[in-house]
Each structure stands twice: as structure tokens, then as C-alpha cells.
């Protein structure tokens, strides 16, 4: 894991880190706020999954959640929304490809080699955080907005018992019934809507 930056933020530390993802087969970047309480004891972890077109920076720089996280002694992780890089698949559409990973494991070409965001969140990033930061992995919650709300719901309900709470803000709840979802799920998972 490489430190891209670490800055004092509401008495805690807001960091940006880079690490190898075996699932996505590329370097990934994430933000992590650690409250000052983590100096002396393990702290709970909140996962914040961002929406379409976002990076790890959106909620990290715009939401101001660090103030409350410091007050209550909670860490917040801000993962990227997809793998990124010049050698990775992408399209010009804002709602497909880089910036729009949908927090799933793609099965269709050309996405299936790198777009393994479900595994990235549940295994790779989880492992990196648990090994490098003073967090209590028995006290995790997950939340997200838009596409990230969809990710929070599917990951949170898909791994029973891992998360103490699941929150979704304006989530894409029925992706097969709307343009924001049908297009992406077809590209990533195929056109079979029966299974």
C-alpha cells in the first residue's frame, strides 16, 4: 500500500491510498478518514459508496462527514467507483465503464477481467484496511448514494451478518427497470434477465 496523501482533518487524519487489487488486476485508490480515537483503540468502519461518474474524492471532499466521524470516533472509507487506467476497458458514455462500476463482478467481455468491484470491496479493500489501520472489523456499516446506494444494498444484503447497518440515499433500486441500470447490467452481466 502506498500513501498518496495524509492530512489533518477535524483532529483526525484524511488519507488517500493506493494499493494493488487482485480482483481488478490494477492499482486502486481509496480515501480513508481515521478519527483521533484510532490512536488508542480500534474504531468502527463506515463504507461510503459513491454514485455514477464519481471517484473516491467526491464524498470525501464535498460531504464534510469527517466532522461527525471525528465526534463519534468512526472511520469512513471512500472507495473508487471502478477500476481506472489507460489500459483498462472504457467507453465515452458517462454511465458505463470507468466511473460506473456498479459494485458488481462483470461476466461479459471486455469488462470481466477488471470490473470485479464486488470482490474488490468485499475482499481486497477489506483486507487492506484490516491489515493497515486500527479498525474494528466487527463493527462495520455500509451506505451509498445513487449507484452507490445500489451497491450498498446488494453488498450489504449479500453478506449477511457483516454490516451492522445498511443505508441507501436515492439508490438505484430497480436497475433492470430503468435506463440507469438496464444498459449497464446488460453490458456487464449479459442480456439474460431470467437468471
Instruction: Assess if residue 195 is contained within a domain.
Output: no
Write out pLDDT tens, residues 61-114. Answer: 999 999 999 999 999 999 999 999 988 889 888 888 999 999 999 999 999 999
Establish if 57 belongs to a structural domain: yes
Would you say residue 82 lies in a domain?
yes
Residue with cell 451492522: 164
The count of domains in the chain is: 1
Residue 92 lies in a domain: yes
- Domain with residue 158: its CATH number is 3.40.50.1820
Domain range enclosing 23: 2-189
Asked if residue 194 belongs to a domain, the reply is no
Q: What is the pLDDT of residues 139-167, one digit of tens each?
A: 999 999 999 999 999 999 999 999 999 99
Give residue 25's Cα distance to chain centre. 16
Amino acid at each position: 500500500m502506498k500513501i498518496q496523501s495524509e492530512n489533518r482533518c477535524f483532529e483526525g487524519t484524511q488519507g488517500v491510498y493506493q494499493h494493488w487489487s487482485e480482483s481488478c488486476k490494477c492499482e486502486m485508490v481509496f480515501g480513508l478518514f481515521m478519527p483521533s480515537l484510532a490512536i488508542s483503540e480500534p474504531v468502527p468502519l463506515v463504507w461510503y459508496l459513491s454514485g455514477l461518474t464519481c471517484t473516491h474524492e467526491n464524498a470525501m471532499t464535498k460531504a464534510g462527514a469527517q466532522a461527525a466521524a471525528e465526534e463519534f470516533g468512526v472511520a469512513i472509507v471512500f472507495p473508487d467507483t471502478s477500476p481506472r487506467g489507460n489500459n483498462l476497458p472504457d467507453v465515452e458514455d458517462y454511465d458505463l465503464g470507468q466511473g460506473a462500476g456498479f459494485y458488481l463482478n462483470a461476466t461479459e467481455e471486455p469488462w470481466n477481467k477488471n470490473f470485479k468491484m464486488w470482490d474488490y470491496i468485499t475482499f481486497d479493500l477489506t483486507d487492506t484496511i484490516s491489515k493497515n489501520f486500527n479498525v474494528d472489523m466487527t463493527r462495520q456499516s455500509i451506505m451509498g448514494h445513487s449507484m452507490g446506494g445500489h451497491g450498498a444494498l446488494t453488498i450489504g444484503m449479500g453478506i449477511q451478518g457483516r454490516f451492522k447497518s445498511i443505508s441507501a440515499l436515492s439508490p438505484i433500486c430497480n436497475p433492470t427497470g430503468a435506463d440507469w441500470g438496464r444498459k449497464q447490467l446488460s453490458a456487464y452481466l449479459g442480456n439474460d434477465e431470467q437468471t
